[in-house]
Amino acid sequence: MTKRFWNDHGIRLDAKIQLYRSAILSPLLYGGENWTPYRRHIQKLDSFHMKCLRRILNVKWQDKMPNTDVLERCKITGSESMLMRLQLRWCGHVYCMPDCRTPKQLLHGQLTDSTRSQGVVVVVVVVVVEMNIIKVALSHFCCRTTVQSDSVSVARQVTVRRR
């Protein structure tokens, strides 16, 4: 695919990005809404993501183009934000389900028919998603307060971060 598609100068960049999203990102992030992503996994996903985008753009490491510029030129987000979006979308879908449905019971860890065995506490997807919601809400709140006024927004950002 490298010789035929990525290096072909006759194919537009947006067509290459669409193929990358459908043929590479879809299988790569399949089932990502149920993952518990650790930092090392996100770093490996992100490095692969950036390597593919740099190959599509034909950017060499000698060009010293930052990752943010590569993402902007491709009009695509990072792998961590894609995973976060998948998880938030899935949780919104499960949240609308009735309480008797198994996915909703599994999400909250409240199956009525079974008991959890004693042992090490496992990091649940709910905890990761709740942290992502808090992250998104805080960044959204900080962005909205900075728009209002500079002197007031600094005080609000400090109080939000202390909570």
pTM: 0.67
> Is residue 148 predicted with pLDDT exceeding 70?
no
**How much is the pLDDT for 91?**
81
What's the token pair of residue 145?
A: 């307060």
> Is residue 61 predicted with pLDDT exceeding 90?
no
Of 53-57, 69-73, 89-93, the least confident: 89-93
Instruction: Report residue 156 CA to chain centroid gap.
Output: 27
Residue found under tokens 């072909």: 8
| Mean pLDDT value across residues 101-124 | 64
Q: Measured between alpha carbons, how far is 83 from 30 in angstroms, rounded to an integer?
A: 10
Q: Measured between alpha carbons, how far is 92 from 133 in angstroms, rounded to an integer?
A: 11
